[in-house]
Amino acid sequence: MTIKEETMREAGAKLRSIFSSIIPTLIPGTRLSNVDDDVAGLLKYWRARSALRMLGFPGNIAISINTEVIQGVPDDRLLAAGDLVSLDMTLYYKGFFVDKAVSLVIEPRHYVKRYLADAAHRCLNTAIAGIRPGIKSGEIGALISAQAGALKVRVSKEFFGHAIGESHHMKPLIPNFDDKSANLIKQGDFIALEPIVFYNYYVLRHKGFHVEADELSAHAEDTVLVTETGAEVIT
């Protein structure tokens, strides 16, 4: 195992632990800034940093609610029952970056929102299951969009997954649809797969740091290591 692989696995375990710690705290009445404070404490414990914070984002983790697509600011808003929440965070540890995002619905669960969140994760899992050395970036996008179509949801064409490691966003980009790109994914590559889904056609609006739509959206992401036979999820 290389030093990079070992460190990336360590970073992924730390990021996974942070998500496991904060998700149970997401209940009606939870203040977003308090969640961010908890994340700050966990980062200090793990001797890691938030890449979002390093890049000037006003928080350690992005918390996007309902029609917010990405980079929702963890401010003084309170979570409400039925909110569709997407958590997204990039962790920096010993010179390397890892990415993870999860979508969930605050209890009591709202079926329409729950279905969309589940669809994002099913698209992600389908892509992970299809990874193999030699697959092309566009072929990964085709896996994601085919699963989205089977679930009757629509993938984002504006946002991409990406290679990751020494930098937060690296080439090649990994589309959420078949854009015919032919970048080869090799054994030993680390890639962040990142499907974002909607029910219908949508219009995006940029508001400061965050991006909002006129439709509900859900977001799922994991960092994976491409192995000899497939992919290993490290986050």
Q: What is the pTM of this model?
A: 0.95
- Token pair for 190: 């680390």
Average pLDDT over residues 162-176: 96
Average pLDDT over residues 183-212: 93
Separation of alpha carbons 85 and 44, rounded Å = 24
CATH code, domain with 67: 3.90.230.10
> Using an 8 Å Cβ cutoff, are 53 and 59 in contact?
yes
> Using an 8 Å Cβ cutoff, are 84 and 112 in contact?
no
Average pLDDT over residues 152-160: 95
> Using an 8 Å Cβ cutoff, are 125 and 195 in contact?
no
- Reported as a single tens digit per residue, the pLDDT across 27-79 is 999 999 999 999 999 999 999 999 999 999 999 999 999 999 999 999 999 99
Q: What is the pLDDT of residue 92?
A: 98
- Reported as a single tens digit per residue, the pLDDT across 77-136 is 999 999 999 999 999 999 999 999 999 999 887 899 999 999 999 999 999 999 999 999
What average pLDDT is seen over the chain?
A: 96
Q: What is the pLDDT of residue 207?
A: 80
Number of compact structural domains in the chain: 1
Domain that holds residue 52: 3-233
- Residue 209: pLDDT over 90: no
